[in-house]
Amino acid sequence: MIVEYIDAHKARFGVDPICRVLTEHGMQIAPSTYYARKQAGQVPESVLAEAYEAHAVYQVWERNRSVYGVRKMWHAMDRAGVRMG
């Protein structure tokens, strides 16, 4: 999201000044981080889907006071509507 914001305004202000102002207001980003992210490209759909699944597992685990083991987690995920092995 920050990268898109910088892209939208870099023609008018430049990358370094935008990063400096964002850092002053609590959104820390270095110009080198911006350029590295631009060079990395888009995140593959499979990696993004896996991250969402991992987050769903973490939310269910945390909702159950972080004490469920593998078997109880499998059942809890099934009850939550998330089918996984």
Q: Could you state, in order of their start, the residue ranges of all structural domains in the chain?
A: 2-40, 45-79
What confidence tens digit (pLDDT) does each residue in 25-36 have? Answer: 999 999 999 999
CA 69 to chain CA centroid, nearest Å:
26
CA 62 to chain CA centroid, nearest Å:
18
Tell the residue number behind the tokens 């990696």, with chain if given: 47
Q: How far is CA 6 from CA 38, 41, 44, 66, 75, in A?
A: 11, 15, 22, 38, 44
What confidence tens digit (pLDDT) does each residue in 37-80 have? Answer: 889 888 889 999 999 999 999 999 999 999 999 999 999 999 98
